[in-house]
Amino acid sequence: MSTVNVKINNISYQFPKGLTILQACNQINIEVPTLCYLKEINEIGACRICVVEVKGAKNLVASCVHPLSEGMDILTHSEKVLKARKITLELILSTHDRSCLSCIRSDNCELQKLCHDFKVDDEAKYDGHNQVYKTDDSAIHMYRDDNKCILCRRCVAACSKLQSVGVIGVNERGFKTHIGCAFEEDLGKTDCVSCGQCIVVCPTGAIAEKDDTDKVWAALADESKHVIVATAPSIRVTLGEAFGMPVGTNVKGKMVTALKHLGFAGVYDTDIAADLTIIEESQELITRIQNGGPLPLITSCSPGWIKFCEHNFHDFIPNLSSCKSPQQMFGAVVKTWYAEKNNLDPHDIVVVSVMPCTAKKFEARRDNQSAAGVYDIDIAITTRELARMIKRAGIQFKKLADTDFDDPLGVSTGAGAIFGATGGVMEAALRTAVEKLTGQELTNLDFTEVRGTKEIKEATYKVGDLEVNVAVTSGLANARQLLNEIREGKKTYHFIEIMGCPGGCINGGGQPVQPASVRNFVDLKTERAKALYEEDKNLPLRKSHESPVIKTLYEEYFGEPGSHKAHKILHTTYKEREY
């Protein structure tokens, strides 16, 4: 391996050739501050916060894009560097809405932290004329406030590079430069897919989900309502981050306890609906394989992906599984089977879902998502919103004891748990579909070929006399590539899993926001996924069709997978979209 010898703060080091100054500093535990840089997504050196001094160079250099070279002598916090960073922050603040106390990102804002570290006053030094922008709240899931934007362009990069959606970009030039949609169109009138990836990369409060927690508080206070809550598989391995716990910590027991303290009549696990999705989806796959239905069958759990398909790949709409997502299946079961079992009027039940995904807010109001004549899901909140509720209630999360989900919708399987990671839906479906097709019990339940965060994963499995070709991808740019290859006849599959967010739900747009200092050097997707696979490994039941709750649902209510009643309650339809 080629190496270079450099000095950083007067200490000699040897690094592999090809590193940037920023990467090298991180390896020796020196955190160079950044505002625009995101690894492999937004490497543009625009914000000038990461500047360092290189002896002999005429000007300070942006460490995020400047490569190491032999003999380089670098100072990361010289007087010149610190002064330059402070002036840059003061200039940014001169055009920034400084309403920090009421900002949703207060105490978790990268700009706020840097201003504190560099002793920048909230009274801007360079006050003058400012552009004033109207907040765009036209989308169902989020709002954009350009008055808090620092033009880092991270959101633009996430939307175009990660997701290949590209509905936001840089408009105007010079002092009038701002982020917006083409022709200043409202975001709600574009083909935005509601994925929220722009939110989790934003360093300030310029972009955020619409906070629906007041609706939850109001429901909890209404004695005429039966208010229950269900959490998605990935929430248990991400919620702890909002309370300062290490990435990938499984806080399921504490999460359940916190929800009970908040006052919900029932605290349930959406994993059960994930198991139910697998039963219906695997039956759908088997039926299509045996009866010649549209193949490949493509999963329908990710509403961001579904909306992307409806906008961009109309020819693949028949390939989408007609199964509702686990969120919607859960609500449908509660307002039909659960309501009848407990002698409740569906109109008096309020179902709150805690999801890793801002697109779930959009999905909850889609057509054909009302199995009992009322919306399956009443309120969808993100991991971040749940954390705010816990904090607002004064619950000391880290000190809570563990408790279990309530019956009857609290016992799930490992197959349901791994839904939160890319490849998890595929693996869970294979565990059931293979046994159904062969009539033989699997001895190895780990389909490791579809695990991991590789952009596109492929595998072929021998299932009885069939060879089943599968593919898994996450992130919509990767989905676009995969579907185009199928269109062009380069690839042929029977079953495809697509998740809208890179890495799947564990990296959803509703998950806790981590600063660039973490996102650039910690593999969030891998660390969070590890915890889900660990839960799967340790659960007594690991196949959806072995769940006692699922068996009860079919025995008491649905009859059999794919039945007329199951289709009426658990399945949905799609359409071509403009926006």
CA distance 27 to 2: 17
CA angle 196, 202, 206 (to 5 degrees): 95
- Beta-carbon contacts of residue 568 (< 8 Å; ≥ 6 apart): 371
Give strand pairing partners of 67.
Answer: 20
Give strand pairing partners of 12.
Answer: 7
Q: For the domain covering 214-570, report its CATH number.
A: 3.40.50.1780
- Beta-carbon contacts of residue 439 (< 8 Å; ≥ 6 apart): none
Half-sphere exposure of 348 (CA within 13 A, CB side): 12
128-137 long-range contacts (CB < 8 A, ≥24 apart) are: 128/94, 130/94, 130/95, 131/95, 131/175, 131/176, 131/178, 133/178, 136/180, 136/186, 136/187, 137/210
Q: What is the mean pLDDT of residues 364-371?
A: 97
pLDDT at 437 over 70: yes
Q: What confidence score (pLDDT) does residue 124 get?
A: 67
Give strand pairing partners of 462.
Answer: 467
CA distance 103 to 109: 9
Q: Which residue has the tokens 């998502």?
A: 369
Q: How confident is the model at residue 365 (pLDDT cuts 50, 70, 90)?
A: very high
- Fold for 3-77, please state it: Ubiquitin-like (UB roll) (3.10.20)
Q: What confidence score (pLDDT) does residue 466 get?
A: 86
The domain segmentation of the chain, as residue ranges, is 3-77, 104-209, 214-570
Spacing of C-alpha 445 from chain mean position: 26
Q: Which CATH architecture has domain 104-209?
A: 2-Layer Sandwich (3.30)
Distances (CA, A) of 208 to 67, 138, 237, 339, 381: 34, 13, 22, 34, 12
Q: What is the mean pLDDT of residues 408-413?
A: 92
Average pLDDT, the chain: 96
Q: What confidence score (pLDDT) does residue 288 get?
A: 94
pLDDT at 122 over 90: no
Q: What confidence score (pLDDT) does residue 126 get?
A: 84
User: Are the CB atoms for 342 and 336 separated by under 8 Å?
Assistant: no
Q: What confidence score (pLDDT) does residue 578 get?
A: 83
CA distance 244 to 397: 10
- Beta-carbon contacts of residue 284 (< 8 Å; ≥ 6 apart): 293, 297, 321, 322, 323, 562
Tens digit of each residue's pLDDT (9 = 90 or more) over 47-105: 999 999 999 999 999 999 999 999 999 999 999 999 999 999 999 999 999 999 999 99
User: Are the CB atoms for 415 and 432 separated by under 8 Å?
Assistant: yes
User: Are the CB atoms for 302 and 449 separated by under 8 Å?
Assistant: no
Q: What is the mean pLDDT of residues 275-299?
A: 94
Q: What is the mean pLDDT of residues 284-289?
A: 93
Q: How confident is the model at residue 218 (pLDDT cuts 50, 70, 90)?
A: very high
Instruction: Give the percent of the chain with pLDDT over 70.
Output: 100
